[in-house]
Structure 1
């Protein structure tokens, strides 16, 4: 088992990465709690809930199961989970366990952050994508006008990552997760990016997967420690997300996974970077890799003007200017404010020439 440590502004917490550790979850819970609420979705519950409950057999354990999918990151589901917590009698010495992917982690973490002004929670990720979202303490729900617009910075007390749970992932979930790993390589390490470009996602070994997950978590943890609340370098983790989030919102959350939308956003970020900095970033190589691994890249249902408006309402926007993370070269990210007209022009040509 691999063990990493992250220092947040309020406390240090450990990230455990191993095989089968969901069966011994009680060993990694940092202290005794009065009760535990496991929040999971209906797909993950069928696969892993019983094992986690059995690992906590000596505790007072409750469960809340939500529908799988991005639509559950809503104010209604958030409120319902608070109702569950109150009816179960959770107090300030209770614990929330987020068992699932990024949706469950974001939602359950925000419930923990706001219940009785904040109780402890742990992340138990079950997707590749959640290697990114489970670390760093960003918790949130969506608003119809934007993704993750209602939320907080609230770090878990532990992240317990059982990579055995990844064996049940669909091809779509694997694609989604690897978009974030590619993002982490683009902002930090050209060698790893080139290695990833040689992967076929349906042929990844367990050892390769663990190595790449560990790489991604270390990149995220290092940046989060340096800039927990996104006043500086943490913004670099948003590479590909400005357009990605807009696509998700315009397609009503669910038609594309988060990672599939981010994949298109990464291509756009490289396209704009090459234009803005006269750079020579590997746009064609990445496009070929996405196609080779069956990423859905068609967003013809999205209107450019609507995407631009949604990008302007993104929480990273300043003074209604669109703020994009770009690359001067691989491993050298930067942030640039761009006018509507510039983004509009780039989007038009990107959709006509790159992902046509």
Structure 2
């Protein structure tokens, strides 16, 4: 077992650790009994993750003196719905969960978001633990306490801020993950570096495609989590600087909304959005073109999209993408808010986007 990296998320009496590395779950077992006073571990997971990991995780929990109680949800974004939320909340209530207990989210971002939301509203709040099984969830959604479901009005439009008690990012749980899903998660690591950690980007760039392997990946995950932890500690509820974590997401969410279901992955859309955010920053004369070119080259080197035309779906329309961007939750006073960059490691919030200029720019990129 490799050394486990511990990243603290400092939020006063709601602080918690993120354990990163191969074998992180084994290293966490001695912590768990204190979080389960009734010695039962309610585990929310989906059918796909259950097939791969539920048996092993349940055995480890049983070895720590806990009795597993699985709650199975449907795989995919359809679970992040009012019906999916009702299913999980009813399951917790059927088990008569107490406020002193925790529920485990075992899965990717969908399971984590859904379970966290259910935990936050059941009996006005029970604890939960994140055991993310995708790289994307390890570096992004499992840390920071943003929970939620999708509604007819948009992605994650109903939710709460509810911090986990512990996050266990065990790299051994990624072994069954397809390469495409691993790459989609890596986009969030690059995003952290581009927002405010230029030395991290230099290191990722130096590793090239090898960054996706072994200890290099564990170090990259821990560095990205540490960066996000600093942002969350400063701005837990996204009133200011935390909005920087949406670098690439305004473009990315528009791509996701416009593409056919399952045509592109969230991380792929974010990667393309990162490339466009830097390209648009260079277009406006804010960012050196050389930095935008470095970003595009690194994304291409590791096998990620770096713009609209390198996504698996390419039938885009600039005006429709702009319409999607107008619905973004970060917008204020009817104006599109973008996260742009003055250079690598120097992102900022831009609330003065000229829609006409942005539309023209997008037309050149499609």
TM-score scaled by length of structure 1: 0.91
Please say if 1:36 is aligned against 2:45: no
Contact 1:146 / 1:310 at 8 angstroms: preserved in 2?
no
1:105 partnered with 2:109: no
Return the TM-score normalized by structure 2: 0.89
Q: Which residue of 1 aligns with 2:361?
A: 346
Specify whether residues 22 and 50 from structure 1 end up closer, same or farther in structure 2 by C-alpha distance, changes over 3 A only. farther
Name whichever structure is richer in strand by fraction: 1
Q: Which runs of 5+ in 2 are unaligned?
A: none
2:285 corresponds in structure 1 to: 277
Would you say 1:187 and 2:201 are equivalent positions? no
Does residue 312 of structure 1 match 2:321?
A: no
2:53 alignment counterpart: 48
- Tell me the residue number matched to 1:95: 102
CA contact 1:36–1:95 (8 Å) conserved in 2: yes
Q: 1:21 to 1:211 in 2, by over 3 A?
A: closer
- Please give the alpha-carbon distance, in whole angstroms, between the structure 2 residues aligned to 1:252 and 1:86: 36
Distance in 2 separating the partners of 1:71 and 1:291: 31
SS at match of 2:155: strand
- List alignment gaps of at least 5 residues for structure 1: 352-356
Q: 1: CA distance between counterparts of 2:249 and 2:142?
A: 17
Query: How far did residue 219 of structure 1 move?
Result: 0.5
Among candidates 109, 125, 129, match of residue 136 of structure 2? 129
Residue 317 of structure 2 aligns with which residue?
A: 303
- The C-alpha deviation readout for 1:103-152, integer Å capped at 9, x for no partner, is 21111111111112111001111221112211111111122432211111
1:246-257 → structure 2 map (5 Å cutoff) = 246-251=254-259, 253-257=261-265
> Residue 342 of structure 1 aligns to a residue in which SS?
helix
- CA distance change for structure 1 residues 175 and 319 in 2, over 3 Å: closer, same or farther? same
More displaced, 267-276 or 289-298?
289-298
Per-residue deviation, residues 13-39 of structure 1 (Å, max 9, x unmatched): 111223223346542224333343211
Per-residue deviation, 1:203: 7.2
Shift of 1:198: 4.2
The 5 A counterparts of 1:1-356 are 1-8=4-11, 10-23=13-26, 25-29=28-32, 30-34=34-38, 35-57=40-62, 58-130=65-137, 131-201=139-209, 204-251=212-259, 253-281=261-289, 282-295=291-304, 297-298=310-311, 299-337=313-351, 338-351=353-366
Cα distance in 1 between the residues matched to 2:329 and 2:13: 24
For the 8 Å contact 2:250–2:273, the answer to whether it is kept is yes
User: How many pairs align?
Assistant: 351
1:188 CA drift (Å): 1.8
CA–CA separation in structure 2 for the residues paired with 1:149 and 1:156 = 20
In 2, the alpha carbon distance for the partners of 1:60 and 1:283 equals: 51
- Counterpart-to-counterpart distance in 2, 1:307 and 1:236: 21
Provide the C-alpha distance between the structure 2 equivalents of 1:278 and 1:87, rounded to a whole number of angstroms: 55
Q: Counterparts of 2:12 and 2:284 in 1: how far apart (Å)?
A: 36
RMSD: 2.1
**TM-fit CA distance, 1:96:** 1.1
Report Cα offsets for 1:312-339 as digits up to 9, x if no partner.
1111111221111110111211111213
